[in-house]
């Protein structure tokens, strides 16, 4: 078993090439350079391109359970490590979602496509929305999974949870602190990874020890800093949202019933005002990481929506 270079004490995990080859179908790990940034992606299948953009604190491996079925259904499936994530470059800045969407658009052109479908989860969902807003001609359909584009409501999140508050995103503030997260997590990223999945999965076995090692391995010092950048750019994201009109591309929203239905209520209440053609599906009996916990639901909805 080969391994990627990591910080000391980070759990060992297979390299991306080995992980890609482990998937059913002919999936390959590859790199492309866009505007001086090296981007890592894993691709397989033939047909119309479907880009998959992961969230925090994950990598392309988040989509491992759905990629083979989507490829078998006649799609060219391309799961991308966003800037700051996994084996992609981790620049000093450029983590606002508009800038990341520009990088993804550059990747689309580098791969030879004029238009793609895009699905994103968590931060990847935010980038997918920004892609559709800024590059409508390059956008076929988009799917947004569990998270909306940052808006001004983020400024209202309390730093101390009120009694009975169903959802307390402490990491939003944690990731705003320059330098400290890297110092605390380098070589100990598995502590964060375990807490996140143990608290946001209904079935903790859906992300097993190998999967957790893959994600912890990616959280090197630079990996932690890259993830911080996505959150630290929320202020600019909110400004950019104010310049966007309604998304014209068809949008599928898939959302968990996490936090006593708060996630679902937010998406159902907000997304129809941000796009002209919206369908929202609530995924029952699964937490925030439902791509891994309820992969068949994702496969079924994607197969219908992206057909």
pLDDT, residue 256, reads: 95
| Residue 123 · residue 96 · CB < 8 Å | no
pLDDT, residue 4, reads: 42
Span 72-117, pLDDT tens digits: 999 999 999 999 999 999 999 999 999 999 999 999 999 999 999 9
Own/partner long-range contacts of 234-238 (Cβ < 8 Å, ≥24 apart): 234/150, 234/154, 234/172, 236/96, 236/98, 237/96, 237/97, 237/98, 237/126, 237/130, 237/149, 237/150, 238/150, 238/151, 238/152, 238/154, 238/155
Compare 165 and 137 and report the one with higher pLDDT: 137
Task: Give the orientation angle of helix 234-241 with respect to helix 97-110, to 10 degrees.
Answer: 80
CA neighbor of 115 nearest in space, from 126, 124, 123, 104: 104
Instruction: Tell me what percent of the residues of the chain surpass a pLDDT of 90.
Output: 91
Q: How confident is the model at residue 259 (pLDDT cuts 50, 70, 90)?
A: confident
Q: How confident is the model at residue 167 (pLDDT cuts 50, 70, 90)?
A: confident
Q: How confident is the model at residue 11 (pLDDT cuts 50, 70, 90)?
A: low
pLDDT, residue 3, reads: 37
Question: Spelled out in words, what is the top-level CATH class assigned to the domain 16-305?
Answer: alpha beta
pTM over 0.85: yes
pLDDT, residue 1, reads: 34
Span 30-39, pLDDT tens digits: 999 999 999 9
């Amino acid at each position: 078993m080969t391994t990627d270079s990591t910080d000391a004490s980070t759990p060992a995990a297979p390299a991306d090439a080995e992980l890609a080859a482990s998937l059913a179908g002919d999936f390959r790990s590859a790199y492309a350079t866009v505007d001086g940034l090296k981007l890592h992606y894993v691709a397989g299948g033939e047909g119309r391109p479907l880009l998959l953009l992961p969230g925090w604190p994950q990598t392309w491996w988040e989509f491992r359970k759905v990629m083979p079925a989507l490829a078998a259904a006649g799609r060219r499936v391309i799961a991308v490590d966003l800037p700051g994530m996994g084996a992609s470059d981790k620049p000093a800045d450029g983590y606002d979602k508009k800038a990341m969407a520009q990088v993804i658009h550059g990747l689309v052109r580098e791969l030879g496509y004029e238009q793609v479908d895009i699905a994103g989860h968590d931060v990847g969902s935010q980038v997918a929305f920004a892609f559709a807003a800024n590059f409508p001609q390059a956008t076929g359909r988009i799917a947004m999974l569990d998270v909306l584009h940052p808006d001004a409501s983020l400024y209202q999140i309390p730093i101390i949870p009120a009694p009975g508050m169903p959802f307390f995103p402490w990491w939003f503030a944690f990731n705003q602190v320059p330098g400290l997260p890297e110092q605390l997590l380098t070589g100990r990223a598995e502590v964060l990874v375990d807490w996140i999945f143990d608290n946001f999965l209904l079935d903790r076995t859906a992300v097993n020890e190998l999967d957790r090692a893959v994600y912890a391995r990616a959280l090197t010092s630079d990996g932690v800093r890259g993830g911080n950048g996505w959150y630290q750019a929320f202020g600019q994201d909110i400004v950019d949202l104010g310049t966007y009109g309604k998304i014209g591309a068809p949008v599928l929203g898939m959302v968990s019933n996490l936090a006593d239905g708060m996630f679902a209520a937010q998406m159902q209440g907000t997304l129809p005002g941000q796009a002209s053609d919206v369908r929202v599906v609530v995924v029952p009996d699964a937490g925030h990481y439902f791509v891994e916990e309820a992969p068949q639901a994702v496969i079924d909805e994607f197969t219908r929506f992206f057909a």
